[in-house]
Structure 1
């Protein structure tokens, strides 16, 4: 008797992936960022970032991210975002507590999550028309109070 299980598994594994969105196109490859973070009662400090992203076989975006903030130890983060519907993503970030959600709005992506320390993060990444740069704005809140903001310009390196 013929089993359909291997045939179905093959068809599911080799379904065509949707075309990459602005999020995947921008972060696949190397990126560098520079900007500043303003922390309530602490002042402003410089931030530099480096990223290396790739699209995995399942269509998800995997991003290894290094953050260097003036006066702080280097932080390494890993992002993994997967499409969950048209213009919507869910995923994980290594320093997030629980799921990460993202939604595309034209040339912008809105990312929300909660950090392990309990801060609510509201992030807007705006992809510029040149396809090589993006503006990153993040707000960190604790109990509804804004405690920090980040302004960054991200550039594709390759």
Structure 2
């Protein structure tokens, strides 16, 4: 009987601790992190990126490079992305971003459904949007939870989780390198 009570009390203490790990990260958690990310400053000029998509089993399905030509005028930014995939195919996405109050951003692109929304805090940027993703002749609407972390004045790391109907399809990992003048 004592053993059962001990197991129950241990489980009662452990359950909230285990569940707290499921809460996920919040952009506010990075408010004190340095260097502070200024999207208009970082994404201004030419930025190169190398990335990959891993399916939910962890298998690398696609590798790619991106050359981004970025320009800001006031609170309006344009990020012109030219993708080249490892199979030789290419793609272009032009983001139009707007800096809002309190570190918030909105954005649109030709293959983004509706409006992307994001927020910067400290060195981190969280960006959420729905992408129209063509796969074998069919277009799927997938949700991206995109996190970027500024490492220094040139390097930013990016990790995005792709979901459909709440089911994790895979992850995208990128390394951005800003070209210095």
TM category, shorter? 0.7 to 0.9
Q: Which residue of 2 aligns with 1:36?
A: 52
Cα separation, partners in 2 of 1:70 and 1:42, compared to 1, 3 Å: farther
What root-mean-square deviation, in Å, do the aligned CA atoms of Structure 1 and Structure 2 show?
Answer: 1.7
Contact 1:22–1:127 (8 Å) recurs in 2:
no
Cα separation, partners in 2 of 1:72 and 1:148, compared to 1, 3 Å: farther
Q: Which residue of 2 aligns with 1:121?
A: 144
Contact 1:66–1:76 (8 Å) recurs in 2:
yes
Aligned residues between the structures: 136
Contact 1:31–1:156 (8 Å) recurs in 2:
yes
Instruction: Report the CA distance between 1:65 and its aligned residue.
Output: 0.4
Of structures 1 and 2, the larger Rg is shown by 2
Q: Which runs of 5 or more structure 2 residues have no equivalent in the other structure?
A: 1-36, 133-139
Using the size of structure 2 for normalisation, the TM-score is 0.70
Extract structure 1 runs of 4+ deviating beyond 6 A.
Answer: none
Q: Which residue of 2 aligns with 1:92?
A: 108
Distance 1:138 1:69 in 2: 18
Cα separation, partners in 2 of 1:36 and 1:139, compared to 1, 3 Å: same
Q: Which runs of 5 or more structure 1 residues have no equivalent in the other structure?
A: 1-20
Using the size of structure 1 for normalisation, the TM-score is 0.79
- The answer to which structure has the higher helix fraction is 2
